[in-house]
Amino acid sequence: MLELRLIQGSLLKKVLEAIKDLVTEANFDCSATGFSLQAMDSSHVALVALLLRSEGFDHYRCDRNLSMGINLNNMSKMLRCAGPEDIITIKGDDGTDTVTFMFESQKQDKISDFEMKLMDIDSEHLGIPDAEYQAIVRMPSAEFARICKDLGSIGDTVVISVTKEGVKFFTRGDVGSANIVCRQNTSVDKPEDSTVIEMNEPVSLTFALRYMNSFTKATTLSEVVTISLSSELPVVVEYKIAEMGYIRFYLAPKIED
């Protein structure tokens, strides 16, 4: 028996909008600790990892570990039918091959049930070791989204470099080149507006902008984005989800061939 009730249903709506274009179908894993997902995009260049911890739900019942294969596009279609203030409950059962999304309006005067068939998805789970990063940049998520969008209009790849001057985003295309430098800036009245750069050593890596612009669809989930870089590892772009978890995007770099 599975019953997860999320008062802030909009979080789930935003999560689906953030991942449905990157990954078409995935297994949602439900366990006592929470509701999670790990999936790669079709070209195995990027990986998304989602965790919504059980204590973040208003009611969390998961009798046995359950894995639900879902087409994310279809799930997104259903969640779009939920209002921004609706309470969303996910119901499943290990016996049935369906999942139900229940939407309750705030005034409890409208209850909707959307039922979807589950799919069999064989997805190998990857072990993601905790790593030491050479540089970690924490900045306003809207700022990062704007930079990726702007650079995406000039070139296809972005070179992200962290030095003691700050974090640099560089691209070059047919029309020319663009270079954006963001400096450490903690002298702001709101902490979420600050840019904090933790650099253990300088690092510079190249990534495909189309993936970065796909990740920034998660901007609505958090005012802050954290970008962790290491020359030996994929970049991690992380958006925290209001005290209940996170959505992390991992992207493999491009190298000079």
Partner 1 sequence: GDLQLIISGYFFQL
Distance (Å, whole) CA 20 – CA 75:
9
Q: Write the Ramachandran bin of 175: left for phi over 0, alpha for psi from -120 to 50, otherwise beta.
A: alpha
Kindly list the residues in this chain that would bind partner 1 in the complex (CB under 8 A).
40, 43-47, 124-129, 157, 206, 208, 233-234, 250-257
Q: How many CB atoms lie within 10 A of CB 70?
A: 21
Dihedral sign from CA coordinates of 196, 200, 204, 207: negative
**Closest approach of partner 1 to the CB of residue 207, in Å:** 9
Cβ proximity to partner 1: between 209 and 225 the closer is 209
* Residue 154 amino acid letter: I
| Minimum CB distance to partner 1 smaller for 32 or for 126 | 126
d(CA 20, CA 24): 6
What minimum distance in Å lies between the beta carbon of 234 and partner 1? 5
Comparison of 70 and 205: residue with beta carbon closer to partner 1: 205
Q: Tokens representing 127? A: 């072990």
Minimum CB distance to partner 1 smaller for 119 or for 252: 252
- Closest CB 256 distance from partner 1, rounded Å: 6
Distance between alpha carbon 26 and the CA centroid of its chain, in Å? 14
> Please, what is the minimum distance in Å from the beta carbon of residue 156 to partner 1?
9
CA distances from 32 to 53, 61, 63, 123, 174 (A): 9, 8, 8, 21, 52
Question: Cβ closer to partner 1: 134 or 184?
Answer: 134
- Shortest Cβ 45–partner 1 spacing (Å): 6
- Least spacing, CB of residue 72 vs partner 1, in Å: 18
Is the Cβ of residue 46 or residue 51 nearer to partner 1 in the bound state?
Answer: 46
- The three-state secondary structure class of 148 is helix
Nearest-angstrom CA–CA distance, 226 and 237: 6
Q: How many CB atoms lie within 10 A of CB 198?
A: 14
